[in-house]
Structure 1
Amino acid sequence: MSDTEKTGSAHLKQPLLWGRFSALVLIVALIGLVLDQATKLWLVHGFDLAANGPVGLLPVVDIVLVWNRGISYGLFQQHSDLGRWLLAGLTVVVTAGLWIWSARCASRLLALALALVIGGAVGNGIDRLAYGAVVDFVHFHVGTFSWYVFNLADVWIVAGVVGLLYDSFQNGPNSAAK
């Protein structure tokens, strides 16, 4: 068998939707999704944060209600139904791509990082579909400095991206090309 045939057949054997770490990715993403949605549901409907907030937890942390109609850091704010549905559709496409990537990954760290991003993306996507905006509620501030308001899904996404960056440099700068 020639090298071209070996490469071609090896490429065809890569899983598309379910791979070595898919169960781990599914479990971690679901746990992250449930924790994210449970906190949002409780704060919005159980505690009624809109009526009872903001709540000061620490001198530098408040629980507030912010409806984010954009993406990370409030970028690309969308105030129309078209914008809302475009962002929701983008979430579905990106999540599907991340899932396919996770089915092909060869390391547990990469799978965990992708699972965190998937869980966070789905959590924020559910908000966008249910409310037309993402529920953000954790607000860090020091003196007059105010950091952006975020939620657990955002924490999962950031942690996942840190994991992806770590994984990309773990075996050297050219390991992603292999």
Structure 2
Amino acid sequence: MAEAERIIGTPDSPETGAAEPEKPENEGGEAGAPASQRPKGRRRIAVLFAVAVFAYALDLSSKLLVVAKLEHHDPVKIIGDWLQLEVIRNPGAAWGVGEAFTIIFTAIAAAVIVVIIRLARKLYSLPWAIALGLLLGGALGNLTDRVFRAPGVFQGAVVDFIAPAHYPVFNLADSSIVCGGVLIVLLSFKGIDPDGTVHKD
């Protein structure tokens, strides 16, 4: 009997070639994938901040230029009456809405920046990095105006200067925020999460 058990093997005996324990999944969710194939979280964070810095620098430099060259001057026509450059100071949101709530808009912009920075720690998706970078750069651009421009700290008016016909005047920070928001909506519809995973509802 003992000889038969030795030949057949018990479930715990080495002769049975017992199944190896499952390998734990790595950060990317693939068992046993080499480190070189794991998501590059740091690279995605670098993309986010690179996009944000570019969007912020472009917005800041454009505002400095138009304030120095165009403010208190007649509008500059780019495409007839369809598109002009005209500097205005906007203490509210789009269409001048909420002019009495400048501090609230300042707090909202600051909160958006904090949320994006916190979300960056779990960022593995390149498209999400670009989208959040656009949002961050645009929010920083308008927040800079709120903090440092007249009439005072946290009450400053945003510099808008792109004036299409039949549309509110806006700036490059606004464009960056809109583009980032549209991209986030598209990614959400496709089921792509910031951590790079794809889900289907």
8 A Cα contact 2:191 2:200, kept in partner: no
Aligned to 2:169: 149
Gaps of 5+ in 2: 1-24, 26-40, 150-155, 193-197
Of structures 1 and 2, the larger Rg is shown by: 2
Whole-Å separation in 2 of the counterparts to 1:104 and 1:116: 17
Does residue 77 of structure 2 align to residue 56 of structure 1? yes
The answer to whether the 8 A contact 2:76-2:86 is kept is yes
Question: Retained in 1: the 8 A contact 2:49–2:133?
Answer: yes
Corresponding residue for residue 147 of structure 2: 129
Percent of residue pairs identical: 31
Are residues 99 and 177 of structure 1, via their aligned partners in 2, closer, same or farther at CA, if it must alter by over 3 Å?
farther
- Aligned partners of 1:28, 1:73: CA distance in 2, in Å? 27
Using the size of structure 1 for normalisation, the TM-score is 0.76
After superposition, residues 1-178 of structure 1 pair within 5 angstroms as 19-45=42-68, 47=69, 49-59=70-80, 60-78=82-100, 83-131=101-149, 132-141=156-165, 146-171=166-191
Show structure 1 runs of 5+ residues with no match.
1-5, 7-17
| 1:177 CA displacement | 9.0
Cα RMSD of the aligned pairs, angstroms, is 2.4
Find the residue that maps to 2:72 and give its secondary structure: helix
Q: Does the 8 Å CA contact 1:139/1:149 hold for their aligned counterparts?
A: yes
TM-score scaled by structure 2?
0.68
Amino acid of the structure 1 residue aligned with 2:110: V
- Shift of the alpha carbon at 1:72? 3.4
Counterpart for residue 13 of structure 1: none
Report the 3-state secondary structure (helix = DSSP H, G, I; strand = E; otherwise coil) of the residue aligned with 1:149. Answer: coil
User: Measured at CA, do residues 109 and 66 of structure 1 come closer, stay the same or move farther in structure 2, by a change above 3 Å?
Assistant: same
For the residues of structure 1 that align with 2:172 and 2:199, how far apart are their CA atoms?
29
Q: Is the 8 A contact 1:53 1:65 kept in 2?
A: no
Deviation (angstroms), 1:98: 1.5
**Quick one: distance in 2 between partners of 1:176 and 1:29?**
27
Bigger relative contact order, structure 1 or 2 (CA pairs below 8 A, ≥6 apart): 1
Q: Hey, which bits of structure 1, 4+ residues long, moved more than 4 A?
A: 175-178
Mapped contact 1:21–1:103 kept (Cα < 8 A): no
